[in-house]
Structure 1
């Protein structure tokens, strides 16, 4: 089977409710929109873009609002889910398409899932990396997170107070990023008998529990790219996503318990806390993801799944996209 030649990646700015969304586009064919998580950027898809383009797809990896060259609105509530869904729809329209396949990692998986729920007319299939789909429901999120950790503080609660995490991160963005990437990578994460970096000792910081060393997938140049973006933009926009979880819970009440019916895919890391903590959500997929085409757990893989194991992720994505087709 022959495919069109792969074009070089092209940077574009397109209009959106945020003001502008920066994206990097490559290839020709059915549109696949890639949505990154925290604390990353479009660059986290650098290994997937040429592979998907070579397989016959038009790939667009965005900077989520608050990141990179995309707009960074001032208001915290500008980062709620409904706004991020609207950005994704605007990107599809700006690229001259009516529908797209959506693939997200980490927070991007939640954004992708919500986009599929809210706009099934636009997003015809959804791939979720690292963070399983769990329908809206249960207690208010802040109440759940406050109850986690006992005497320690769960990182999501730590992130929710404006300015607090920024004060830890922004004096040494590069060092903090290197630490969180290492903390959640299979080859550098702390041993199970050491304190968990997802939790913060009272009066402490996340950085206190970050391991030394750099994961194999992260080159010095890669770290330079990520650090350069956040040194320029700061972390407020990125962290504002965490500061809208209760607001999302209120605004998305109509989707309480709702399944995602489009064709779907899940890929998780066997050593990723997002996968292990949410094991019940994965078990519930027959009812919550009735269109599930494939669910995969990559053994001895951490959280940064498409960067830790790019060839496997590329193979699974291309196989799934081929099975989804144009339906």
Structure 2
């Protein structure tokens, strides 16, 4: 399904975000956050589907990704992303039915916000990144450990590359194209790449996207205004949580998700989606739409 969205302007306290929107203004709010290297257009299947089900879906281009602004405070810590997501709920007039959806960095943001006592969202749906506490206790067998850990180190090379000065920005287009091929093998990402490269067209935007990774390596640099939000960015969500993971994910191996599934809390569920890589919402939209819709309808009817 492909339905053209409306364009919204979200004047948040620390940054102005542009967003795509589908569905009725009086429907239960779903705020959907994208990751790297991606844009709000990653929700072009889920957004119209949920809109048909009566939900109001708003998908911001997160801070630094055009046409949203690069924040004047230059902060890309997860606490800042959480603050933006909480502020979006207020600016959009969200109520107790609202749900937060996130993929990749958006998933990290949603998991962290779902663990915070000031979280305004009833539930969270995260894709491609399980809650960190669920993965922290993963203890594969010796043989499986020997396979998974070295491979994951190889898959995660880009996180260290993005710590370098200048080079990531200069090579961002090559990096983006490579990651989409590696993370979702066999998926035709031509449309998505056009959106990503348009969103990261300026040097400032490219530095912003890379800045998410650099910020993680600088935990001491969280500004005071975001420190309280940042406090729970690696904690377990305390609200109902659905996590989806592609079986063929070339970013974070599905083996970690399968091992994390039994460690999800009673209010959480982790589902591995067959025949899907990292961008599962684009590769298997019908199945992702079904799983997310069933979860959301269950939450909003309580």
Q: TM-score range by the shorter chain?
A: 0.7 to 0.9
By how many angstroms is 1:97 displaced?
1.7
1:166 paired residue among 141, 166, 169: 169
Matches for 1:9-24 after TM superposition, within 5 Å:
9-24=5-20
Matches for 1:210-225 after TM superposition, within 5 Å:
215-216=187-188, 218-219=189-190, 221-225=191-195
- Within 1, Cα distance between the matches of 2:166 and 2:180? 21
- Within 1, Cα distance between the matches of 2:263 and 2:28? 28
Give the aligned partner of residue 290 of structure 1.
266
- Within 2, Cα distance between the matches of 1:120 and 1:285? 26
By how many angstroms is 1:47 displaced?
1.0
Change (3 A) 1:287 1:254: farther
By how many angstroms is 1:271 displaced?
1.4
Does 1:318 find its partner at 2:293? yes
By how many angstroms is 1:88 displaced?
0.8
Give the aligned partner of residue 142 of structure 2.
none
Matches for 1:148-167 after TM superposition, within 5 Å:
149=153, 154-167=157-170
Structure 1 gaps of 5+ residues are: 1-6, 139-144, 188-214
TM-score after normalising by structure 1: 0.75
By how many angstroms is 1:180 displaced?
2.1
SS at match of 1:68: coil
| Contact preservation (8 Å) 2:113, 2:237 | no
Give the aligned partner of residue 238 of structure 1.
209
- Within 2, Cα distance between the matches of 1:267 and 1:165? 29
Change (3 A) 1:82 1:316: same
- Within 1, Cα distance between the matches of 2:298 and 2:46? 18
- Within 1, Cα distance between the matches of 2:179 and 2:129? 17
Deviations 1:48-80 (A, max 9, x none): 11001001101001111011221212555x111
Deviations 1:149-205 (A, max 9, x none): 59x982211112342311222xxx3x5433321121132xxxxxxxxxxxxxxxxxx
Change (3 A) 1:282 1:253: farther
Change (3 A) 1:162 1:278: farther
Change (3 A) 1:257 1:39: closer
- Within 1, Cα distance between the matches of 2:251 and 2:181? 16
Deviates more, 1:45-54 or 1:8-17: 8-17
| Contact preservation (8 Å) 1:259, 1:287 | no
By how many angstroms is 1:93 displaced?
0.9
- Within 1, Cα distance between the matches of 2:5 and 2:83? 24
By how many angstroms is 1:302 displaced?
1.0
| Contact preservation (8 Å) 1:126, 1:265 | yes
Provide the alpha-carbon RMSD of the alignment: 3.1
SS at match of 1:318: helix
- Within 1, Cα distance between the matches of 2:156 and 2:183? 18
Give the aligned partner of residue 55 of structure 1.
53
Give the aligned partner of residue 28 of structure 2.
30
* Paired positions, count: 277
Change (3 A) 1:256 1:19: closer
Give the aligned partner of residue 263 of structure 1.
240
By how many angstroms is 1:120 displaced?
4.9
| Contact preservation (8 Å) 1:17, 1:90 | yes
TM-score after normalising by structure 2: 0.80
Give the aligned partner of residue 82 of structure 1.
79
Q: Which of the pair has more CA radius of gyration?
A: 1
- Within 1, Cα distance between the matches of 2:291 and 2:245? 12
Give the aligned partner of residue 195 of structure 1.
none
